[in-house]
A and B are shown apart, each in its own frame.
Chain A
């Protein structure tokens, strides 16, 4: 295969199902962040502006809860999809954490520092993707639980002391901040600012990536596809 044709070939990386899930996740997280941080940091002009735009403090809560319901429903659907469908099971297998990922991470750092001679050969999902995926999963889980406790305050008040609700609120807020920080420093770098994808990895829109990109960044997956005859 010539260099020319190799470059133009593209591979499916995100099926329509995952693109829809990713799109919904992005949308809900954005809405949740805008409505949530406005409340968490309510004492400045930006928050005041946001809350005003969100239709006041009451409507802000309504928007936040609506987005949260969509996020949680999506989380449940995603769990079902990953555990019980053919495509989901295959993807989950690729996403499972192994000792290999930690080794890859170590080797990558060593290589970056010049201490290892070779960059680790990454499969479909490397340590970068897996950190993002499992971080988001655990984060969404934690923020959903705390969110529901706070939302159902009429019920939780009868079960929990106020101090527990105070702590729940702190966890909920900081968990949101944590998610925001990860998205900003990890996801935005890996999927937008990284030289191999700059300005953006288009897989979330088109579903496809260049075969050449795959060969460089995910060589094991590239070889696997080649063996399967997809490429």
Chain B
């Protein structure tokens, strides 16, 4: 008896809400389930496919809407009924609806693309649960799988020109992906943390959360200490100042494939740092435009540090060891770790004996008369000296062989 009452209450409420619009009393959940509780109930689509119309009452009851009535969403439903009007979640969730309409999903769907994610694709239909519920599709640790259902689908990727499967796979292996799937961390970055949820937009649109100019702030949501250091750096200041080439987080760390610094595949792994920095710093255009010193990469790679790093001694100093990571500053800045006054301390991190005396002279040795006269002169001397010597040796060998023939001839002459 009691059960009937609990069923009846929402039905009555729904009927009241529906008001005079429906002449007959609106059908209750029980009425609907008379048909929709049948597991075999289905409808045929024009293409010949069939769609199940079964509603799992238990799942519905357990859902966030479980205390409501079918007619709350399916307001045009009567018993019996034909094709129902589309469910509009926005009726009760206007804010979400507004954000969604401005999103790339919403816009495409408004144009009639039905394979683009709507509310139910991410939240479910009759079984919607609150995002906090670990069983919810939109739960922090479940959402990536929901996104990937479409974003790992090659047909959809091709149709909408989306990033390929390898990008998504890279996320799953990334430090963020692993934090979610392997460690189950609630603080891990999952798709909506960076891309947004309802208002999701492609990264090339300025309003997108993942647009270049928004990246530092975006990453700083979680990595706030690093954002603070970055904002003070020459890169951060340049970026905020509107210099387009100034790197943001993703330029050094990558996007979906981002891995731990200790991972040899990471672009910021010690061995890969010089390559990552030189992607910009070896560019003629950039170093000319911003008056940056040139040949930093080649001079580094020819140094003891560079050679050691190249051959796998990750302990050896890379760019960031001296210049700093997020807080990198130009050498002219008194706060820079590579400012002349600070060099003894910077070198001293690894070489405690390297005092102010050691820090004299250039660190990146570009062997030209202007940059390093001493080294240049010694090198020229030896090059000339050795070349001359080789030339003289060759002459000597030639003459010696010539003389030997003469000696032999004379010797034979003597004998006769």
- Contact surface of A with B, Cβ cutoff 8 Å: 39, 42-43, 51, 56-58, 108-109, 111-114, 119, 153-155, 157-163, 166-167, 170-171, 174-175, 177-178, 181-182, 185-186, 189, 193-196, 216
Contacts and interface: CB of A to CB of B under 8 A. Distances in A.
A58 B301 CA distance: 16
Contacts of A182: 389, 393
Contacts of B382: 170-171, 174-175, 177-178
B307 A39 contact: yes
Interface in B365-401: 365, 372, 374-375, 378-379, 382-383, 385-386, 389-390, 393-394, 397, 399-401
Secondary structure class of chain A's binding surface, majority of residues: helix
B390 A185 contact: yes
Contact of A113 (B358, B362, B399): B399
B374 A112 contact: no
Contacts of B307: 39, 42, 57
A118 to B, nearest CB: 8
Interface in B159-178: none
Contact of A160 (B302, B351, B357, B362): B357
Contacts of B353: 154-155, 157-158
A56 B312 contact: yes
A174 B378 contact: yes
From A43, A57, A119, A182, name the one whose CB has the most chain B CB atoms within 10 angstroms.
A57
A178 B393 CA distance: 12
B7 to A, nearest CB: 76
Given A174-B378, A178-B382, A181-B386, A112 B372 contact: no
A111 B406 contact: yes
The CB with the most chain A CB atoms within 10 A, among B307, B312, B394, B404, is that of B307
30 contacts: A42-B307, A43-B301, A57-B308, A58-B313, A111-B403, A111-B406, A112-B402, A114-B406, A158-B357, A160-B357, A160-B358, A161-B359, A162-B358, A162-B360, A162-B361, A162-B363, A163-B372, A167-B375, A170-B375, A170-B382, A171-B378, A171-B382, A174-B379, A174-B386, A181-B393, A182-B393, A185-B397, A193-B397, A195-B401, A216-B411
Contact of B385 (A39, A42, A51, A178): A178
A177 B386 CA distance: 8
Given A51-B311, A56-B311, A185-B393, 4 more contacts: A57-B312, A162-B362, A163-B361, A181-B389
B354 A109 contact: no
Contacts of A194: 400, 404
B360 A163 contact: yes
Contacts of B360: 161-163
B407 interface: yes
A181 B378 CA distance: 18
Contacts of B389: 178, 181-182, 185
